[in-house]
A and B are shown apart, each in its own frame.
Chain A
Amino acid sequence: MNRYPLWKNLLILGVILASLLLAWPNLYSQDPSIEITAARGAEVTEASVGEVRAALENAGVPVKGIEVREGGKLLIRFAASSDQLKGQEAIERSLSARYRTALTLSADLPGWMRAIGLKPMNLGLDLRGGIHVVIDVDMDAALDQALERNLGDVRTQLRDKKIRYQTVTREGARILIKFNDAESRDAGAKALSREFQDLTVQTSQDGDQYLVQASLPETEQQKIKDFALEQNITTLRNRVNALGIAEPSIARQGERRIVVQLPGAQDPGRLKEILGATATLEYRLVDTEGSVADAVAGRVPVGSKLYYERDGKPILLKRRVIVTGDQITDASAGFDGQSGSPAVFVNLDGQGARRMRDVTTENVGKPMAVVFIENRTTTETVDSKPVKTTRKVEEVFSVATIREPFGSRFQTTGLDSSNEAHNTALLLRSGALAAPIQIVEERTIGPSLGQDNIDQGLFSVLIGLGLVVIFMGIYYRVFGMIANLVLLLNLVMIVAVLGALGATLTMPGIAGMVLTIGMAVDANVLIFERIREEIRIGNSPQASIAAGYNKALSSIIDANVTTLIAAVMLFSFGTGPVKGFAVTLTIGLLTSMFTAITCSRAAINLLYGNKRLKTLPV
């Protein structure tokens, strides 16, 4: 007799019910929607619903429904994504002063389902449309900046300590300090290693020159890189939030990359405009002693560098950087309390404030400049072929006189208009990137292609499933129908697990599902063929069932483990879409072992386990 103990049957039943429940939300339609939140100083209330509805009616945009969500949000559902775009336009036009809109995709779930936290699978960008970009952070530039900052500090420190040195220069990734004699060198090295704990200080001698080399140790470099990446992510998040996308995802990828995903976004141009302004800022003192004319002719004074202002006027600035953009914590436009003229208020972090105070105290009455550094890609035609070069553009965009020493918060006046103040503040704030960035990969999927992908994907799943179901039913009869049943259960479980893990379904993911359908029946084919063999050699039906399952087990496990190895490798080395494929394949392999071995056995046991049989419908 073939029987499972009660607990085993109950466990299987429990798993099946849980899977059905978890997979349930996927049956509801995912509506293109607009999420509305209140702008600063406004509120979303019941009255807002009427307002929004009226605005949409005026514009002639059909609405599927409006819901008030917790957290002061409104959700407007549309039947088509074209309505969604028109709707956003209408709301922006008439109500943009008080409300912010964001495009999203929202499943039309009943309230109780949302209350217990059930969610449908996330659809990947290739299925719902959207933009995926990978951004590379220029780590060399980040390290360069850190070294430059240290270079200036080293000079100051030696001067403060009254240690005589010949020169302080940069050689590649090291700071090289030359001394006249061993005594001052050792004093210098001692002072530096005490003051600069994040620098490695080494002494050496070359002829009659006494040298100290300072460099950033590996751990410190790593810290700087990590910081640059984190800082960039934060800044990007602020910039991207301005785009009006409901669930932007900005995540670190590896050592120096950032992945930005904007589901539902449809205009990569706007994103690039925002990302394209990859800028850093530097505050520097103006060199008032050196001759600008000499510098233009090529004789730049030591310790200074030639820059140009926006109108093309040359200007000499000190090489030493006072504060860089990443030390600016906030910048806002306003009006000067005394004169009432437009001003920009800048906040610095602790380290930046200290340096700013030190420098401004020494230099009251002297001019200070803000340098704006941008990475620009230009196209030039060489030999009738376009050649693209990335160029670093450095521009002085404001020069102001230091009136008094200032610290963590200061204001810049002398701006032409409040508009200019506003733009400057914006630049200062969003320009606070620690290192230049560049887009190295982009994948944009238009909404119509996304919909096509879903339709075609679902269709091929259904066709594949249908063919297999028909074949199995004809070939293995009742046992075949049991195989079909567990195959369907397998699909439900894949969907349930994907939803529960919060994994994302992509087009290759659908392909993985289709493939799983084909491979999942293999386990049942192995078992059923074994059962047939056992019957052929004259064993009783009950014994054949047991032997079939037992003997096929080792083959099934071996076969699945090998495919699993390939899937795991795909997951660990693959990116984006390939990962999606690997995830569904892996989940599919695991669930198929459960359904094809355990669940099919349970069904067969329940049907035939207690009967005296002469033949088996296999």
Chain B
Amino acid sequence: MIAIKLPNLDFLSQRYRALVFSGVIIGVSLLSLAVLGLNRGLDFTGGTLIEVGYKAPMDLAEVRTALSEGGFGNVMVQQFGTTRDVLLRIPPVGEVNDAELSQRVLHALNEAAPDQVELRRVEFVGPQVGKELAEQSGLAVLFSVIGILIYVAMRFEWRFSVGAVVATLHDAIVTLGVFSLLQIDFDLNVLAAVLTVIGYSLNDTIVLFDRVRENFRKVRKGTVLEIMNQSVNETMSRTIITAGTVFLVVVALYLFGGESLRGFSLALIIGVVSGTYSTIYIASAAAVMLGVSRADLLRTPKEAEADGRP
């Protein structure tokens, strides 16, 4: 049998150090979010994005010349993936919807390099739609957090749900922080990834808390800290293996899934790493610091038995 041999580590004695560490990271993330903000993608700002493929590698300067000759001075030009793919971004102008803009830009590019340009993608989002998408996304995040909070509060003691939510918010903020610091495009796909990170991080935390609850009922001796530590250690190999497999697939997605999923998979990679760390150090530490005790969990054993669950 191959098994990860893990020493019985005293994770929770490190909780103050972990708290300082997380505090710094969260601080940097929040500062970056406040100062730099998120590099909001087209979905939220509105505007036009055009991806074109050239038959041969294309010099960006040439593309820029072609565009400014066509009267499109405000177009941002960048390489996308390969030297033959070019991405053009055009910021929205006021409140106006101009769905024909992409046609005119393509026309200008075609004039400059006849038969060389192939349209790969056009995305146009009107300013109003952008605002709505941003609003709806905010609501989606808010309601999932509330929904999950209610579920965890129903299944566990309130100190645990606070611990779980603190750990989850930690992961969401860290993920957003990295996107802000590196100024990576934040679009709808990345938002979906952040929500998935929230789900994943909780998943991890809940597995640990499940074990804590079980151990509180089973192990009659030992302090709260000891039982917490024991539970972290018992679930450790599972935590590492699951994080490992999820990590493997999201890295595969990042490397081979193509440009359009890069932001999405990056958010998941950060989330998986942060989620694993926060489960061990943040969630349980928060519950301990809030003063969770054996009595809190023993009060409702009947309910648990009625569920038919151990």
Q: Is the CB of A526 within 8 A of B238?
A: yes
Query: 1/0 contact trace for A452-490 toward B, CB 8 Å?
Result: 110011011001110110011011010000000000000
Residues of B within 8 A of A269 (CB): 103
Q: Is the CB of A268 within 8 A of B103?
A: yes
A263 CB–B CB distance under 8 Å:
no
Q: Is the CB of B125 within 8 A of A441?
A: yes
Distance between Cα atoms of A558 and B160 in the complex (Å): 14
Q: Is the CB of B244 within 8 A of A517?
A: no
From residue A582, how far is it (CB to closest CB) to chain B in Å?
7
In the complex, which residues 324-351 of chain A have their Cβ closer than 8 Å to any Cβ of chain B?
none
Partner of A525, one of B124, B241, B256: B241
Residues of A within 8 A of B200 (CB): 519, 563
Q: Is the CB of B188 within 8 A of A578?
A: yes
Q: Is the CB of B238 within 8 A of A562?
A: no
Q: Is the CB of A578 within 8 A of B189?
A: yes
Q: Is the CB of B258 within 8 A of A464?
A: no
Query: 1/0 contact trace for B252-271 toward A, CB 8 Å?
Result: 11011110110011001000
B1 CB–A CB distance under 8 Å:
yes
A573 CB–B CB distance under 8 Å:
yes
Q: Is the CB of B126 within 8 A of A551?
A: no
Q: Is the CB of A464 within 8 A of B253?
A: yes
Q: Is the CB of B245 within 8 A of A468?
A: yes
Partner of B120, one of A134, A446, A514, A533: A446
Query: 1/0 contact trace for B113-156 toward A, CB 8 Å?
Result: 00000111111111011000100110111011001100110010
**Of A191-199, A292-300, A304-312, A386-394, the one with at least 4 CB within 8 A of chain B:** A386-394
A276 CB–B CB distance under 8 Å:
yes
A149 CB–B CB distance under 8 Å:
no
Complex: chain B residue closest to A562, CB-CB: B202
Distance between Cα atoms of A134 and B199 in the complex (Å): 30
Given A276-B100, A468-B245; A474-B147 close (CB under 8 Å) = no
B61 CB–A CB distance under 8 Å:
no
B248 CB–A CB distance under 8 Å:
yes
Residues of B within 8 A of A517 (CB): 249
A133 CB–B CB distance under 8 Å:
yes
A618 CB–B CB distance under 8 Å:
yes
Given A444-B122, A453-B260, A551-B310; A585-B196 close (CB under 8 Å) = yes
Distance between Cα atoms of A136 and B97 in the complex (Å): 10
Residues of B within 8 A of A389 (CB): 96
**Of A110-118, A228-236, A564-572, the one with at least 4 CB within 8 A of chain B:** A564-572
How many positions in chain B have a CB within 8 Å of any CB in the partner chain?
A: 84
Residues of B within 8 A of A390 (CB): 96-97
B192 CB–A CB distance under 8 Å:
yes
Q: Determine chain B's interface SS by DSSP, over half rule.
A: helix
Residues of B within 8 A of A508 (CB): 189, 192, 261, 264
Q: Is the CB of A460 within 8 A of B140?
A: no
Q: Is the CB of B96 within 8 A of A565?
A: no
B181 CB–A CB distance under 8 Å:
no
Given A268-B103, A446-B120, A448-B120; A460-B257 close (CB under 8 Å) = yes
B78 CB–A CB distance under 8 Å:
no
B2 CB–A CB distance under 8 Å:
yes
Distance between Cα atoms of A568 and B196 in the complex (Å): 11
A377 CB–B CB distance under 8 Å:
yes
Residues of A within 8 A of B152 (CB): 562
Partner of B123, one of A442, A456, A519: A442
In the complex, which residues 26-83 of chain A have their Cβ closer than 8 Å to any Cβ of chain B?
none
Complex: chain B residue closest to A551, CB-CB: B310
In the complex, which residues 200-226 of chain B have their Cβ closer than 8 Å to any Cβ of chain A?
200, 202-204, 206-207, 210-211, 214
Partner of A555, one of B139, B210, B250, B265: B210
Distance between Cα atoms of A467 and B51 in the complex (Å): 32
B176 CB–A CB distance under 8 Å:
no
Query: 1/0 contact trace for B221-236 toward A, CB 8 Å?
Result: 0000000000000110
From residue A515, how far is it (CB to closest CB) to chain B in Å?
7
Partner of B3, one of A439, A457, A532: A532
B309 CB–A CB distance under 8 Å:
yes
B242 CB–A CB distance under 8 Å:
yes
A529 CB–B CB distance under 8 Å:
yes
Residue in B192, B211, B249, B268 whose Cβ sees the most chain A Cβ within 10 Å: B249
Partner of A515, one of B74, B188, B268: B268
Residues of A within 8 A of B143 (CB): 569, 573
Residues of B within 8 A of A519 (CB): 200, 203, 242, 246
Residue in B2, B98, B118, B241 whose Cβ sees the most chain A Cβ within 10 Å: B241
Q: Is the CB of A565 within 8 A of B148?
A: yes
Given A442-B122, A569-B143; A562-B199 close (CB under 8 Å) = yes
Partner of B242, one of A456, A511, A525: A525
In the complex, which residues 562-618 of chain A have their Cβ closer than 8 Å to any Cβ of chain B?
562-563, 565-570, 572-575, 577-578, 581-582, 585, 618
Q: Is the CB of B2 within 8 A of A439?
A: no
Q: Is the CB of A448 within 8 A of B248?
A: no
Q: Is the CB of B249 within 8 A of A570?
A: no
Partner of B206, one of A467, A472, A477, A555: A555
Complex: chain A residue closest to B214, CB-CB: A551
Complex: chain B residue closest to A572, CB-CB: B140
Complex: chain B residue closest to A468, CB-CB: B245
Given A440-B128, A515-B250; A456-B258 close (CB under 8 Å) = yes
Distance between Cα atoms of A562 and B264 in the complex (Å): 20
From residue A259, how far is it (CB to closest CB) to chain B in Å?
12
Q: Is the CB of B192 within 8 A of A578?
A: yes
Q: Is the CB of A518 within 8 A of B261?
A: no
Q: Is the CB of A559 within 8 A of B207?
A: yes
Residues of B within 8 A of A167 (CB): none
Q: Is the CB of A268 within 8 A of B122?
A: yes
Residues of B within 8 A of A491 (CB): none
Residues of B within 8 A of A272 (CB): 99-100, 103
Q: Is the CB of A521 within 8 A of B96?
A: no
Query: 1/0 contact trace for B75-109 toward A, CB 8 Å?
Result: 00000000000000000011011111011000000
21 cross-chain CB contacts under 8 A: A268-B103, A386-B93, A387-B94, A446-B121, A448-B120, A453-B260, A456-B257, A456-B258, A457-B257, A457-B261, A467-B249, A468-B245, A477-B1, A515-B253, A515-B268, A517-B249, A518-B248, A529-B241, A559-B202, A559-B207, A570-B144
If A266-B119, A440-B129, A441-B126 are given as contacts, then 4 extra A-B residue pairs at C-beta distance below 8 Å, sorted by A number, are: A276-B100, A440-B125, A443-B122, A449-B51
Residues in chain B within 8 A of chain A (CB atoms): 1-3, 51, 53, 71, 74, 93-94, 96-100, 102-103, 118-126, 128-129, 133, 136-137, 139-141, 143-144, 147-148, 151-152, 155, 188-189, 191-192, 195-196, 198-200, 202-204, 206-207, 210-211, 214, 234-235, 237-238, 241-242, 244-250, 252-253, 255-258, 260-261, 264-265, 268, 307, 309-310
